[in-house]
Amino acid sequence: MDVFRIEGPVRLSGRVPVNGSKNAALPIMAAAILAEGQSSLVSVPNLSDVRVFVELLKSLGCRVERQAQGDMLIDSTVIDNPVGDYEIVRKMRASICILGPLLARCGRAEVSMPGGCAIGDRPINLHVRGLRQLGAEIHLKNGYVIAEAPHGLTGASIFLGGSFGSTVLGTANVMMAATLARGRTVIESAACEPEITDLANCLNDMGARISGIGSPRLVIEGVGQLNPVRYTVIPDRIEAGTFMVAAAITNGELELTNCRLDDMMAVVDKLRSIGIAVESKGDGCTVVGTGKIIPADITTQPYPGFPTDLQAQFMALLALAQGNSLVIEKIFPDRFMHVAELNRMAADLRKEGPAVVVAGVEKLVAAPVMASDLRASAALVLAGMAAEGTTTINRVYHIDRGYERIEERLNPLGAKIRREKAP
C-alpha cells in the first residue's frame, strides 16, 4: 500500500492540462454495451476506477483495448455473460450503470449490489423503480439485483427525484435502457449534470433519439438498434476544481487547459467571492491566489449548484480563511470523514449535523493523516501542500481512483510529493 509524503508549504506555478472526466467516461463505457461492434472512446483517463470498469466489461464478454493518449476500444459484439460479479462490482459504485444497458441488450441482467466510497448511504431504489416502469421484472437474490425483460422494454413516464435531489447514475441507467425500449419514455426530474449531458450526446451519436438534453425533462424515442461510435469524453470538472483550489491554497498561479468553465459556474463564482482570481483563457483559464482568503458559506446541491465532489477540497481552503465559514452538505449528509483528519493538521472544524463550522486559522501544520475516500484524499493533498512540515497521507489508493498520478502532475508545478510504500 502506498503513502504520500508531502513537504510544505509550497507555491504552485505553471500549466496543467485537465484530463477526461471519470464520471462521464464510466457511463459512456457502459453505453458501448448497447451497440454490437467496436466503439472508440477518446480522452478516457487512466484511473483505477476505469481499470476496474474495463475488468467488468471483459467479464461480460467485451473486448477492451487501451491505446495511446487515452483512447479506448470497446468491442461489444459478444455479450455472453450478463452478470456483474460481486468481486468486481464491490470495488466501485459506478458499476451499477451496466444494469440498464445489459437489460436492454440481453433482456436479462444480474448485477451485485455496488460498493465504492464510504460517504454515506446511496441506495439504488430509484434505478430499480425506473427500470420496473419500463417493464422489467426485478428482484434481489443473494445480494444481486436480477432484472428480466424477455419481451423487451416499453416506454413510460418516469419520475426520478429523490430525497437528496435527482439521481445521476439512476438517470444514466434508465436513459440507456430507454434508448432501445418500444415507444416514448419521459424522464422527469432527470439529473442535469454535464456528465449526463455527455452520455446523452454520445447515445445520440450512436443513433438514439434523446431530446431535452441538459434539462430535468428528458424525452427518449426508442429505436431498434444503436451503432458503434467514436466519441470524445468531456474534461473532468472535479479535477479542474481541485487544481483551482490547489492554486488558491498555495497562493500560486496556474493555467488550466482543456477546462470548460461553463460547466463550473458555481465553483468559479465561489472562488471569486473568496478572493481568488479566475479568468478565462483559450480552452481553459488562469487561477491566481491573492494571499487572502475571504470566509464563505457553501451549500452542496445538484448541478448547476455547488458540487458535493468539491466540498472537501474547499473545506481545506476555507480552513485558512480570515474568519468563520459554514459548509452544508445536502447530497451526502455523512460526507465529512475528512473533518477529523484536517483537524489533525491544526484546522478548526466543528461538525454540526449535516454542516461544518470552519473557523479560519493562520496556518496548517503537517501531521500523519488517513485518506477515507476519493475527494477527502484530494483535500488532504491540498492541505499538505499548504501546511508547515512533512505530511504523511495513508491509503492513497483512494486518490488513484479519480486522479491520474497526481504527484507527477503537481510536482513539476512546485509541489513536493513523494509516493512511497507504506512501512
Q: What is the pLDDT of residues 169-184, one digit of tens each?
A: 999 999 999 999 999 9
Pair 6, 98 in one domain: no
State yes or no: pLDDT of 82 exceeds 50. Answer: yes
The CATH number that applies at residue 110 is 3.65.10.10
Question: Mind giving me the DSSP string for 321-369?
Answer: SSSEEEEE-SS-TT--THHHHHHHTT-EEEEETTEEEEE--S--B--EE
Q: State the residue range of the domain holding 209.
A: 22-232
Report DSSP state, residue 399. Answer: H
What is the spatial distance between Cα 233 and Cα 260, in angstroms, rounded to a whole number? 12
Bridge-partner residues for 321, per DSSP? none
Residue 327 sits at the vertex; the CA angle it makes with 322 and 329, to the nearest 5 degrees, is 170
> Cα torsion for 154, 159, 165, 167, to the nearest 10°?
-10
Pair 280, 392 in one domain: yes
Pair 9, 26 in one domain: no
State yes or no: pLDDT of 118 exceeds 50. Answer: no
Active site (catalytic) residues: 117
What percentage of the chain has pLDDT greater than the value 70? 98
- Mean pLDDT of all residues in the chain? 95
Pair 37, 152 in one domain: yes
Residue finishing a domain among 179, 209, 232? 232
Pair 8, 38 in one domain: no
pTM: 0.96
Structure confidence at residue 291 as a pLDDT band (50, 70, 90): confident
Pair 57, 8 in one domain: no
Pair 139, 72 in one domain: yes
Pair 297, 223 in one domain: no
Residue finishing a domain among 232, 259, 278? 232
Pair 211, 255 in one domain: no
Pair 177, 58 in one domain: yes
What is the spatial distance between Cα 194 and Cα 111, in angstroms, rounded to a whole number? 26
Domain count of the fold of the chain: 2
Best CA proximity match to 136, nearest among 164, 187, 101: 101
Pair 184, 46 in one domain: yes
Residue finishing a domain among 217, 232, 247? 232
Pair 387, 405 in one domain: yes
